[in-house]
Chain A
Amino acid sequence: MKTSTPAEARFRPLGLVGLFVATGLIAMGGSCTAFNPAFLNLIGPGDGSFTTIPNAPGHVVVAFVNNAEIDERLVDFLAPELGLSDAEVRMLRPRVRLRVRIAFTDGTSLPIEMIDGSREFVDPAFDASAVPDLNQNDLTNVVGRCDVSGVAVELNSIEVFVPVELIGFQLVEVQGEGGQTTTDFEERQRLPPGFNALEVDDVDDDGNTILQRNIGVRDVPSPTANVLCGSVISITMRGVLDVPFLEAETNDPSFDIDDEPTVARIGGRYEFDVSVQ
């Protein structure tokens, strides 16, 4: 006759329970959704059954905040032609687009094109259909699935929309009457409204600026790494969109094509701040 010790009698039910639980776990082990059948198919098949998909493990939000402004002189030049109200003028922002690359811990990555800013602030004589991106809807945030390893702005992808035509002049010597030589500006080129790539300052080996462009070397958007699940990554842009006015020749936006510092700064001056919270 089989007998059992008091210890065996005490632990036998535990073993049976463990066996029962394990069986259930194995039966459901093929699907991680069994414990959390979250999402429900909104439009299910006619037999009334529904389909579920699993929850995401978490998200990281990447946001682009455009806090740049438009130079007052440019606003005064263009706003009257557009018939903008004072309130609309106060809300104007440069139209900016940039590409952000989200890298994930599984080795995959996604390029995201973000765009924001005023679409109506453009020379009315310009055919806006020639630049479809101008009328593309804003995309200022994306939500990536965890786990994200890093987020970086592609520096050569940052562009600002210059909303007016720029006339390029060149100072040339002109032979006048009596053999006198004078100098005068002659028109050399016309740049139509369009997206203008922003460039980083030229610096020497010691880091000193030798040619100022659109973004200082210390003001570029820095990449982030080791992003925690659930974080919010914000890319904030500040600065001013402005264009040159060569007053000696015309009241319209214009520049001397041989004036390298002025040419380098066409599009304005900006700085970026990337923060994680």
Chain B
Amino acid sequence: MQTDSPRRLLAGFLVLLGGLIQWAGCGAGIFNPAFLNTVAGGQFPVTPGPGADFVMVRALNETGQNVEFIVTIERDELVLDEEGNFQVDDQGNFVTRTARETVRLQTGLAGNASELGVLFPCDVSPVTLVGLGEELLPSDAAVFVDGDGPGGAPGFGVTAANLNPLSLDAENFSCGDTITFRAFQSIGVPGGIALQSFLLPGESQPSIFTGPNTFVNYQTFLESQVREDDP
């Protein structure tokens, strides 16, 4: 009596193949390193750490409009004396002062241009706060939406509201981590734009990659550029 088991085995194989094709279809192709990195990691680093001393801030725009992110950090900056050496107090501790830096990250409305990041060195002068808005206040404009880009009209501002700055002291982040600020459309909020923050710890990431070690290469390059006069 003939059986249809070979047909069942073939059906199973075809279903498996279909699943794999569907899985590959959600990315750029199953053998594309970029796709592999998104799904499984290990191709390229997505955090500066554990090998490089930066905090990466990644601005992710999912609003469908141009968005400018106002990213502000605070760091404990080492104070220099007149000779250019780091000042120390009576106990031998380095004297620091709080310095604030604001950068504006312009993101496009679609595709790869909807995301942009920036690296803040955190080895010598630790980064202590990271947030949106020039003064890191809830009433600050955290992002500007639907602007014209550098030198053009800024668009309308959306406040940071309850998106609090991330604090080093509160262990919200560490040197080597990637912090993502995401702007997305949301009903019922002012301007129809909501904000979220995400963290990817650098210490959770591998230190060996099949592709270039991007951030370590960048740090090595910067160290080769330090002039004799720089502290």
A residues near B (Cβ < 8 Å) are 1-4, 8, 11-12, 14-16, 18-19, 21-26, 28-32, 35-36, 38-43, 51-61, 63, 65, 67, 85-88, 90-91, 99, 102, 104-113, 137-139, 141-148, 228-232, 234, 236, 277
Contacts and interface: CB of A to CB of B under 8 A. Distances in A.
B111 A104 contact: yes
B117 A142 contact: yes
B91 interface: no
A111 B20 CA distance: 38
Contacts of A51: 196, 198
A53 B198 contact: yes
Interface of B: 1, 3, 5-6, 8-9, 11-13, 15-20, 22-23, 25-28, 33-35, 37-41, 43-46, 56, 58, 60, 80-85, 101-108, 110-119, 149-151, 162-164, 166, 172, 178-180, 182, 196-200, 209, 211-215, 217-218, 221-222, 225, 227, 229-231
24 contacts: A12-B8, A12-B9, A32-B27, A41-B196, A43-B164, A43-B197, A51-B198, A53-B60, A56-B37, A56-B58, A57-B44, A59-B214, A87-B82, A87-B84, A87-B229, A102-B113, A107-B111, A110-B107, A138-B103, A142-B117, A144-B115, A146-B112, A229-B44, A232-B218
Contacts of B20: 22, 25
A11 to B, nearest CB: 5
Most buried by B among A43, A51, A56, A88: A56
B113 A109 contact: yes
Contacts of B166: 42
Nearest to A7: B6
B37 A18 contact: no
B175 to A, nearest CB: 16
Contacts, number: 260
Given A8-B6, A29-B23, A111-B150, A18 B15 contact: yes
Nearest to B17: A22
Contact of A41 (B13, B198, B213): B198
A104 to B, nearest CB: 4
A19 B12 contact: yes
B150 A16 contact: no
A4 B3 contact: yes
Contacts of A36: 38-41
B26 A32 contact: yes
A245 B3 CA distance: 100
Given A26-B19, A57-B38, A8 B103 contact: no
B112 A42 contact: no
A232 to B, nearest CB: 5
Nearest to B199: A42
B225 A65 contact: yes
B185 to A, nearest CB: 15
Contact of A30 (B1, B26, B196): B26
Given A108-B112, A228-B211, 19 more contacts: A21-B19, A22-B15, A26-B15, A26-B19, A35-B39, A36-B38, A38-B46, A38-B200, A39-B200, A43-B164, A51-B198, A55-B41, A59-B117, A85-B83, A87-B82, A87-B229, A88-B84, A142-B116, A236-B225
Contact of B13 (A15, A86, A143): A15
Contacts of A1: 1
A145 B104 CA distance: 17
A230 B211 contact: yes
Contacts of A90: 84, 229
A58 B113 contact: no
Nearest to B204: A38
A32 B38 contact: yes
B46 A58 contact: yes
A3 B84 CA distance: 89
Nearest to A113: B150
